[in-house]
Structure 1
Amino acid sequence: AKKLDTYFSTPETAGPEFVGSYGGVIHEMTEARDVRMGQYGHSNQVAHHATYMYDAASQPHKTQEKVREVLGRLYTGSEIGQGYHGDEDNGEQSAWFLFSSLGFYPLVMGSGEYAIGSPLFTKATVHLENGRDLVVKAPRNSAKNIYVQGLKVNGKKWTSTSLPHDLLAKGGVLDFDMGPRPSAWGTGKNAAPVSVTQDDKVPSPRGDVLKGEGALFDNTSATSAAVESVELPVPARTKAVQYTLTSAAADQAPTGWVLQGSANGTTWKNLDKRSGQTFAWDRQTRVFSVASPGTYAKYRLVSTGKAVLAEVELIS
């Protein structure tokens, strides 16, 4: 939290003495200077997560304060951007506004949850593709009442600063109680969003363990190979929990397969079986969880028919 405080309070000068390896002042530097939120440059998408990191530091009221400042000041049109204050790469600026104005944001990508901020409106309704509605209510919301005092999800008290995607996807009602001063809401021991690390430990993310010759293991989808039954070159006994398949061409991709494991290369056990699968486009990477993970010295992928793949990864 102290590091974040310093980050948001140390002015960006965009001076020529601080250009680093760029060799000159670039537009992100001057835009961050003109935003007047310290080193935070909302015009540069790599900073978009920073306001929500106070949730992880158990000081969610600062997330609420910073998010509402961005929503209230940086999208309204001014000398620093006329509504969009920098690059609108792939709709990122719009997506940040839409998520944040609803009161939540995908802080940890792929985690299946959203970090809670401060909703912008007194009421907003999202019409979901499954025909249901997600309704966000904050009746006391105002330019002064930016701090969350409490939250109810479908009528039940909610104390965490994160919301599961599966819950929101079913539709329902989020009731925010807003007020003019910070509250203790969301500061409990287990209230913070999910994290890939614990305290100061270095993260140890999962990775591909396959090391071998051939188009399927060369870490590029530019090459491809026909598959029917292919042994996966693991360097040692491995417990695989996920695997990826990358199509070469959508119409040549496998529709079914079995991932198998073996201790000796003679007796094989089915670890994950799939059927009726499709790849929507060429060179599409799909991720699968191993249904029955275990530790094995050998792995192989057996396709139910001849197919062509560009890459196979075994994640441990």
Structure 2
Amino acid sequence: MIEARDVRLGMYGHSNQVAHHALYMYDAAGQPWKTQANVREVLSRLYTGSEIGQGYHGDEDNGEQSAWYLFSSLGFYPLVMGSGEYAIGSPLFKKVTVHLENGRDLVVKAPKNSVKNVYVQGVKVNGKRWDSTSLPHSVVSRGGTVEFDMGSRPSSWGTGKNAAPVSITQDDQVPTPREDALKGAGALFDDTSATGATVSTVELPVTGDTEAVQYTLTSSDRAKAPTGWVLQGSADGRTWTDLDRRAGESFRWDRQTRAFTVGEPKAYGHYRLVLTGEAALAEVELLS
């Protein structure tokens, strides 16, 4: 028996998730038509299933091959994980309706779509012109309509100065990803969700002035997870400023990690998390 493990288009190997971002990088390079053509080539040639006895063409680890197909068929893909944006490609169908978990529908239309019309000529989101190859999750999650105008030749759509997807660097700068600023001992700062604590206030051990831009909370037992809290900062440890306040929150499973953004970051020498009553947590991170 021959197992198709490494199906390629030229030097492109789609058989493992480490390559799945590659075709969408043309969006970031200002050449979105190459994303469009190559994504459609993969959709048409490498997901043929039983027609040539191929099936999945590589490691279907946790459904990542299927996820790539589903996202790419819709016409967008989470190129930069955690950024809250999708990179636009080339939709496979003339119309798809996605029933979102909030009860709303996302409708993706491409009425001129065909085997030859793989190039995006223009995009409208809820009837308004959309010139960026980046599509925010905040827009998609509200439902509505994304309409693609398709054609048989590459176009200049998505090639403008600010049209590319989000990037953590500019030009040839060295990446400086966010890091956890909490260096103290204890079950909530030991970089594992295997431990935890029941608390009402958490003093966050930072070293020196730290500008926190995000923070994460990991639930222990979801039934005992916090539902409300306020993140506070202080210069002297006595006078506190509210940086982020939450209420009506929930964790959907045990040991779920959720990320939250500080709206107006500023450097403080002291941080604390004040919960609305006692609750169980497994891990806390303060990202700077």
Q: Residues 83-102 of structure 1 correspond to what in structure 2 (within 5 A)?
A: 83-102=55-74
What residue number does 1:133 align with? Answer: 105
Identity of aligned residues (%): 74
User: How far did residue 103 of structure 1 move?
Assistant: 1.3
Q: Is 1:45 matched up with 2:1?
A: no
Which of 208, 212, 217 does residue 240 from structure 1 map onto?
Answer: 212
Secondary structure at the aligned position of 1:260 is classed as strand
Bigger radius of gyration, 1 or 2? 1
Q: Is 1:294 matched up with 2:282?
A: no
What residue number does 1:58 align with? Answer: 30
Which of 33, 43, 47 does residue 75 from structure 1 map onto?
Answer: 47
Q: Is 1:181 matched up with 2:153?
A: yes
What is the rounded CA distance, in whole Å, between the counterparts of 1:172 and 1:228 in structure 2? 41
Which of 93, 111, 116 does residue 88 from structure 2 map onto?
Answer: 116
Which structure has more strand as a fraction of its residues? 2
Contact 2:122 2:148 in 1 (8 A): yes
User: How far did residue 305 of structure 1 move?
Assistant: 2.7
What residue number does 1:5 align with? Answer: none
Contact 2:5 2:59 in 1 (8 A): no
Q: Deviations over 1:214-270 (max 9, x none)?
A: 222211122223323332211101122222222222333333333222222222233
243-252 vs 212-221, which moves further: 243-252
What is the rounded CA distance, in whole Å, between the counterparts of 2:127 and 2:107 in structure 1? 12
RMSD of aligned Cα (Å): 2.3
Distance 1:259 1:91, change over 3 A: same
Which of 156, 168, 173 does residue 201 from structure 1 map onto?
Answer: 173
217-226 vs 188-197, which moves further: 217-226
151-160 vs 202-211, which moves further: 151-160
Which of 234, 241, 251 does residue 223 from structure 2 map onto?
Answer: 251
User: Structure 1 regions of 5+ residues with no counterpart?
Assistant: 1-26
Structure 1 length as normaliser, TM-score? 0.82
What is the rounded CA distance, in whole Å, between the counterparts of 1:276 and 1:150 in structure 2? 40
What is the rounded CA distance, in whole Å, between the counterparts of 2:246 and 2:205 in structure 1? 21
Aligned amino acid, residue 211 of structure 1: K
Q: Deviations over 1:53-95 (max 9, x none)?
A: 1011111111111101101101113798623112222121111
- With CA pairs under 8 Å and 6+ residues apart, which has the higher RCO, 1 or 2? 2
Which structure has more helix as a fraction of its residues? 1
Contact 2:234 2:268 in 1 (8 A): yes
